[in-house]
Amino acid sequence: MAYRPTWQGHLKLSLVTCPVALYTATNSGGDVHFNLINPETNNRIKMVTTDPDTGPIERSKLVKGYEVSKGEYILLTQDEINGVKLESTKTIDIERFVPAEDIDRIYWDSPYYLAPDGKLAQEAFAVIRESMAQSGQIGIGRVVMSTRERIVALEPRDKGILVYTLRTDAEVRQADEIFGAISDKPADPQMIAIAKKIIEQQEGPFDPSQFVDRYEEALKDLIAAKQKGHKVAKVAEPEDTNVIDLMAALRASLGGKDSPAKGSAKPAGKAKTSAKAPARAGAKAKPAAKAAHKKAS
């Protein structure tokens, strides 16, 4: 299958350049897509571009406008927009190199694949890619896509280069805006110790093939059932979890059958057995549980 590039131009490292093509590295959302239907006629609804004064108008006659004040727009044609040219419109110029750990994860945005555009470009592309691989650094550059100049991070990936668009500082909210109201009170060390054991039980390699969109699968089942004329059963609402005794909940989670066993960890039987299991590890566990229960009560 031939993929259509999102962007075509040149990759530049100092005085070395080569033609390249940029491709999206991910597929669009799921397979289930809905249309708006009139249930009385079973017809699909069409969205018609309409001027509130003159009525429907063809999209080809429309131009883009920037609102400078309420109801007042500066009109721009597509030719005028295309006339705004920067070097990054057609060239990804690698401006600097930084260690990967220096880029906070919150700034990483959308992934793309960068490949040489044509056989003649492969030699220069290979030199740039291999030099980056041996340096162990992330290249930082710029590219214009969708009427925006985006900062991009480049790193070698297989025979090509993986490109990530990066969010600007203005696009990222300060954490204190959300986390500021969280209490600074330290968590109970004994509870942390049990929670760490729960984490150890659930350790394992990341395999993206094990993760599917269960909601989309449920929608597919719903559609298939209605297509066959079956009556759709109402799904029960999930129960709300209201943890009253946090220590007891942690102990139950540590020995519970819902947690994957690891090493010498034994599956839990009754609730009382699972609650007692961690108590053998330290003499203070049982009094702490009573204190937590008393506090919750």
Give the Cα separation of 29 and 33 in Å (integer): 9
Q: Are 23 and 112 in contact (CB under 8 A)?
A: yes
Amino acid 64 reads K
Residue among 257, 248, 253, 256 at smallest CA distance from 285: 248
At residue 270, the pLDDT reads 39
Q: Residue 7 pairs with which residues in a beta bridge?
A: 22
CA-angle at 67, arms to 66 and 69, nearest 5°:
155
Tens digit of each residue's pLDDT (9 = 90 or more) over 44-77: 999 899 999 999 999 988 999 999 999 899 999 8
**Helix 246-255 vs helix 285-296: angle between axes, to the nearest 10 degrees?**
130
Q: Angle at which helices 246-255 and 189-201 pack, to 10 degrees?
A: 20
- pLDDT tens for 15-52 read 899 999 999 999 877 778 889 999 999 999 998 999 99
Dihedral of CA atoms 5, 88, 137, 157 in degrees, nearest 10, equals 0
Q: Tell me the one-letter amino acid at 78.
A: Q
Mean pLDDT, rounded, of the chain: 83
Q: Per the structure block, which two tokens stand in for 174?
A: 């300060």
Residue 113 pairs in a beta bridge with 23, 162
**pLDDT at site 243:** 61
Q: Which two tokens stand for residue 241?
A: 């979890």
Question: For residue 279, what pLDDT band results from cuts at 50, 70 and 90?
Answer: very low
CA 278/CA 219 separation, integer angstroms: 42
Q: Which residues contact 256 (CB under 8 A, 6 or more apart)?
A: 268, 274
> What strand order describes the sheet that includes 96-98?
91-93, 7-13, 16-24, 108-116, 160-166, 148-157, 138-145, 96-98
Domains and CATH numbers, the chain: 7-29+84-171 (2.40.290.10), 186-200+243-297 (no CATH)
Sequence-distant (6+) residues with CB within 8 A of 265 are: 201, 254, 255
Per-residue pLDDT at 73: 94
3-state SS class at 85: coil
Backbone dihedral region for residue 94 (phi beyond 0: left; psi -120 to 50: alpha; all else: beta): beta
- Please compute the mean of the pLDDT values over residues 156-167 and round it to a whole number: 96
Cα-based distances in Å from 297 to 187, 230, 252, 290: 19, 48, 19, 10
